[in-house]
Amino acid sequence: MLLAKEPSTTDIPMPKSRMANICYHCGAPCITANIAIAEKLFCCEGCKLVFEILNERDLCDYYKLQTHPGLSQIKTIRNDKYTYLDNEAIAKKLYKFTDGNNTIVTFYIPGVHCSSCMWLLEHMNRLKPGIAESRLNFTTKEVTIHFAKDEISLRQLVELLATIGYEPYIDLDDSSQEQAKIFNKEKLYKLGIAGFCFGNIMMMSFPEYFSQHLGMEHQYAQLFRILNLLLSIPVFFYSASEFYISAWKGLKQKMLNIDAPIVLALIITYSRSIYEIATGTGSGYLDSMSGIVFFMLVGRVVQERTYRSISFHRDYKSYFPIAVSVLTTEGMESKNIQDLKEKDVVQLHNDEIIPADAIIISGRAKIDYSFVTGESEPVTVNTGEMLYAGGKQVGEQIIIEIIKPVAGSYLTSLWNHHAFTKNKAEENNENSAVHILSRYFTYILFTLAAITAIYWGIHDTARILPSVSAMLIVACPCALLLSSTYTNGNLLRIFSNNGLFLRDAPVIEQMGSIDHIVFDKTGTLTKGGGKMATAGHQLSEEEKEWLYNVVQSSQHPHSKELTKYLGYYESVPITGWREVAGQGIEAYASGNKIKVGSAAFIGLEEDQNENASLFVRINNKVSAYYLLPVLRDEIPQIIPQLNQDYTLSLLSGDNDRQKPLLRSLFGGKSDLIFEQKPIDKLRYIERLQYEGKKVLMIGDGLNDAGALQQSNVGITLADDINNFTPACDAILDAQKFQFLPSLLRLAKAQKKIVLMSFTISVLYNIIGLSIAMKGIMSPMIAAILMPVSTLSIVLITTGASSMLARHFGLSLKSL
Amino acid sequence: MSALYILIIVSVAVAATFLAAFIWSVRTNQFEDQKGASIRMLYDNEKVKEL
């Protein structure tokens, strides 16, 4: 299954004897054997806590359904993170229904991934009394909970979910999803009705096909025709309605899209059929018409598959907290972020994002601006200095004073750029080759129809109408529409099986026309965490043993990296262990004083070795540790591959420390530009497009959002596809990065497959028509050939695209 | 040949039943979550209540 959690632990070197020590809850390797209950080991206190809760409530079936089903609880959730849910005005927005006590809420839970998750979430009523029932929609990862507000508050409910490891993602203005569902149902109704009518019309038409050989009584012939006419009414007026809407929308914007000639053909077919049946001159073409509508609808449903658990439209708001703690004269108050005003004094905790430009009043601020600038090292900011929205506080809590409203901050001003006002999805669709091709097709058709009309106008005026209408019916570009929808549908399926999720089908075509690829560095080419390197005093084995025992119980990311780097040592007694948040750890091992942490903490001058992430002082010997960003494993392999077909560029918010390495990887031709702000990245893409380039941008963070939006195709690389990704056209699973060149080649082939299948169907029509005109073909054969030709389009397009995908080394099966 | 009238009525009625079943299944959200139902049916202790 695709959403299965990957324990991202394969790169941790572990001695063989310790391999079996994995967390009973989440399956991550346990760095220490100290956290345990009976035989069961846990990687952290969080996982142990979840186990205890479940064990107490007799919910341990959770662990029987899947082994290690839990999510790692290493990242703890702050106590007062959800205080804002006590604010009834905010909570109200989340309720689906409430009568004052009984309440229904639906939460989106990104962490849902297996049958154990489902079992636990549907047995929430056993965890806390106030919960009546809960039901999970596995596909959309939404859990609907019925609870009594008097017994358990919304905040308690959310906190309960968070403690058992299923922290919901709360977004107050997410109304678009409901609409999408209603739309989707409507499509299925249309499809079902068209299928029903098509089948019955075919059945009623058979006597007509055979009547040439067997003869049929007139009364029956007329009965079948009238029944057909009745059955075709819902097809023409209901099922086909979206073609009319789309064609009309196009015409209003003076755009001739592919639906316009299709609608024209439908109208002419239908009115001519009614005329023939009414006058008793023939049986009409209702069988073909309903068949075509049915197959086109199937194609659209296949093509418009959506990934409902992934969002492509998140803007900066998704990154910001919903509410912040504001200090007022009466004490602390939870305030909706939109209501923040200038001069508000806000308390900011570790790992919280600065909601608006502000000045720091008190506390030691260490701000990680990687969201905004891409620069990964946190910067120290002193009291009285400016903080910019989008930065993340690392360490102790700080007090800040807002100086600009949220909407006016530097970061959000990026969203006022015109790149964000255009509708990319619509634009892509309008410029799609299918519409352009159909436009030419329509012009040629009208010219031919006019010539025919003039010809018969001179020779036999009575034959103008029959011949012109016949022509328009036959030359319906539905084959083109079918070719493109079935090809796109199959390609979307193949892409998603290989870890690339597209927003919609027109993105495939955009991807196929790309000639320039721009990469972000941090988080895209490099991976999180990194490689440790040391400088200064080299530790002896004994010292390493001490150090291991000092840092292994700390939850700080740097301690964890250091523990990994050191490997495994036996435990030795540690005394006087003390962790100072945001600064470091101090302890004694066998009488030796050990300090680990920032330069200031261990008593160094700040400017010495400023790039080091961490210092260690054992007695008086100091060593520095550097956390070097490491390229993703696939990068050295895919960059040269892409370099053959595309021009590459690299934009980084970081400094150019790694330039030599990247230069050797990218070769001499590529632009490698460093210290780029989000708006610089956007402008760089704009400039390339001005030069006529079609640009693909691959990025990962909020700092790439502008560039992703401006580019022709913006792909977000995500280590966890359910995480928050900036608005983009496609999301690529980082574990499948190595498939990118193949995926791009496949996208390029899309146009060729559509054209090939269209050409084949046109040839097919020409041959069929010429035989029919000579009067050799019986109506029965003609009636059989119609669905067969449609079927052959379906087979050719899906077959060709699947074959190419396999040829490019992609997987066809769902994972 | 009047049997034909009955046959037509019966055949259309049968097809209409299937159409009605399809519309009912869409309306009751059975296409909303196809994965979940396949997992839910394997839980063997107590029954999960319908919404």
Average pLDDT of span B3-31: 90
pLDDT at A687: 92
Average pLDDT of span A389-415: 76
Between CA A87 and CA A82 the distance in angstroms is: 10
- Its sign, for the CA torsion A531, A537, A542, A547, is negative
What chain B residue is nearest to A192 in terms of C-alpha separation?
A: B19
pLDDT tens-digit series, residues A403-449: 887 777 766 666 666 667 677 777 777 778 888 888 888 888 888 88
Between CA A740 and CA A745 the distance in angstroms is: 9
Between CA A292 and CA A243 the distance in angstroms is: 12
- Cα first-last separation, chain A: 5
Average pLDDT of span A103-129: 82
Q: Are A326 and A342 in contact (CB under 8 A)?
A: no
Please determine, for residue A562, whether its predicted confidence score (pLDDT) is greater than 80.
Answer: no
pLDDT at A695: 93
Percent of chain A with pLDDT over 70: 84
pLDDT at A305: 67
pLDDT at A4: 41
Helix pair A241-252, A286-303: axis angle to 10 deg: 70
Which A-chain residues 86-115 have CB contacts (< 8 A) with chain B? 115
Please determine, for residue A758, whether its predicted confidence score (pLDDT) is greater than 90.
Answer: no
CB proximity A193 to B under 8 Å = yes
Between CA A653 and CA A672 the distance in angstroms is: 11
CB proximity A118 to B under 8 Å = yes
Residues with Cβ within 8 Å of residue A176, at least 6 apart in sequence: A313
Domain boundaries, chain B: 3-40
Please determine, for residue A3, whether its predicted confidence score (pLDDT) is greater than 50.
Answer: no
User: What's the one-letter identity of residue A559?
Assistant: S
Average pLDDT of span A279-305: 85
> Partners of A786 in the beta sheet?
none
Least confident range of A160-174, A240-254, A478-492, A684-698: A160-174
pLDDT at A371: 66
Contact A200 B22 (CB under 8 A): no
Please determine, for residue A609, whether its predicted confidence score (pLDDT) is greater than 60.
Answer: no
Quickly state the pLDDT bin for A6 (edges 50, 70, 90). very low
pLDDT at A443: 86
B7 contacts on A by Cβ (under 8 Å): none
Which residue among A122, A181, A204 sits closest to B48, beta carbon to beta carbon?
A122
Please determine, for residue A610, whether its predicted confidence score (pLDDT) is greater than 60.
Answer: no
Contact A227 B8 (CB under 8 A): yes
pLDDT at A311: 66
What does each C-alpha distance from A449 to A285, A452, A474 come to in angstroms? 20, 5, 12
Average pLDDT of span A594-617: 71
- Looking up tokens 């990319």 gives A424
Pick from A509, A512, A514, A513: nearest CA to A432: A509
- Its sign, for the CA torsion A33, A38, A41, A43, is negative
The tokens for B46 are: 């107590």
A115 contacts on B by Cβ (under 8 Å): 39, 42
Q: Are A806 and A494 in contact (CB under 8 A)?
A: no
Pick from A352, A355, A356, A348: nearest CA to A332: A348
Which residue among B1, B33, B43 sits closest to A138, beta carbon to beta carbon?
B33
According to DSSP, residue A739 is labeled: G
State how far residue A193 is from chain B, nearest Cα, in angstroms. Answer: 7
Between CA A414 and CA A505 the distance in angstroms is: 28
Q: Are A384 and A360 in contact (CB under 8 A)?
A: yes
- Its sign, for the CA torsion A690, A693, A694, A699, is negative
State how far residue B39 is from chain A, nearest Cα, in angstroms. Answer: 6
Between CA A372 and CA A398 the distance in angstroms is: 20
Least confident range of A331-340, A456-465, A643-652: A331-340
Q: Which residue has the higher pLDDT, A320 or A275?
A: A275
Q: Which residue has the higher pLDDT, B17 or A212?
A: B17
- Its sign, for the CA torsion A669, A675, A680, A682, is positive
User: What's the one-letter identity of residue A314?
Assistant: R
Winning range, highest mean pLDDT, from A543-552, A686-695, A723-732: A686-695
Pick from A260, A290, A284, A307: nearest CA to A481: A260
pLDDT at B21: 95
Three-state DSSP class for residue A542: helix
pLDDT tens-digit series, residues A501-533: 888 888 898 898 899 999 988 778 887 656 677
Choose, out of B2, B10, B19, B44, the residue to mutate when testing the contact with A (most A CBs < 10 Å): B19
Pick from A74, A76, A166: nearest CA to A113: A166
Winning range, highest mean pLDDT, from A41-45, A113-117, A358-362, A550-554: A358-362
pLDDT at A181: 59
Please determine, for residue A496, whether its predicted confidence score (pLDDT) is greater than 70.
Answer: yes
pLDDT tens-digit series, residues A583-602: 778 888 877 888 888 777 77
Please determine, for residue A261, whether its predicted confidence score (pLDDT) is greater than 90.
Answer: no
Quickly state the pLDDT bin for A254 (edges 50, 70, 90). confident
State how far residue B36 is from chain A, nearest Cα, in angstroms. Answer: 5
Between CA A715 and CA A696 the distance in angstroms is: 7
Sheet of A713-718, strand order: A500-502, A730-733, A713-718, A695-699, A516-520, A647-651, A671-673
Convert A372-430 into a string of H (helix), E (strand) and C (coil): CCCCCCCEEECCCCEECCCCEECCCCEEEEECCCHHHCHHHHHHHCHHHCCCHHHHHHH
Average pLDDT of span A760-768: 79
State how far residue B38 is from chain A, nearest Cα, in angstroms. Answer: 10
Choose, out of A102, A113, A135, A238, the residue to mutate when testing the contact with B (most B CBs < 10 Å): A135
B42 contacts on A by Cβ (under 8 Å): 115
Indicate the average pLDDT of chain A.
79
Quickly state the pLDDT bin for B50 (edges 50, 70, 90). very low
Please determine, for residue A343, whether its predicted confidence score (pLDDT) is greater than 90.
Answer: no
- Its sign, for the CA torsion A476, A480, A483, A487, is negative
pLDDT at A5: 41
The tokens for A645 are: 């077909």
Which residue among B15, B39, B51 sits closest to A135, beta carbon to beta carbon?
B51
Between CA A682 and CA A705 the distance in angstroms is: 8
What chain B residue is nearest to A309 in terms of C-alpha separation?
A: B33
CB proximity A217 to B under 8 Å = yes
Pick from A161, A111, A124, A495: nearest CA to A305: A495
Across the A/B interface, how many CB contacts are shorter than 8 Å?
Answer: 57
- Predicted model pTM: 0.78
Residues with Cβ within 8 Å of residue A613, at least 6 apart in sequence: A377, A558, A625, A626, A627
pLDDT at B19: 95
pLDDT at A16: 39
Least confident range of A387-396, A508-517, A740-749: A387-396
Please determine, for residue A779, whether its predicted confidence score (pLDDT) is greater than 70.
Answer: no
Pick from A305, A301, A294: nearest CA to A193: A294
User: What's the one-letter identity of residue A335?
Assistant: K
Contact B15 A193 (CB under 8 A): no
Quickly state the pLDDT bin for A19 (edges 50, 70, 90). very low
Residues with Cβ within 8 Å of residue A81, at least 6 apart in sequence: A162
Which residue among A118, A193, A204 sits closest to B36, beta carbon to beta carbon?
A118
Average pLDDT of span A296-314: 74
Quickly state the pLDDT bin for A39 (edges 50, 70, 90). confident
State how far residue B37 is from chain A, nearest Cα, in angstroms. Answer: 8
pLDDT at A12: 41
Which residue among A137, A140, A192 sits closest to B22, beta carbon to beta carbon?
A192
> What does residue B9 show for φ and ψ, rounded to 5 degrees?
-60, -45
Please determine, for residue A8, whether its predicted confidence score (pLDDT) is greater than 50.
Answer: no
pLDDT tens-digit series, residues A224-246: 888 999 999 999 999 999 899 98
Q: Are A41 and A30 in contact (CB under 8 A)?
A: yes
CB proximity B49 to A under 8 Å = yes
pLDDT at A1: 37
What chain B residue is nearest to A204 in terms of C-alpha separation?
A: B8
Average pLDDT of span A362-375: 72
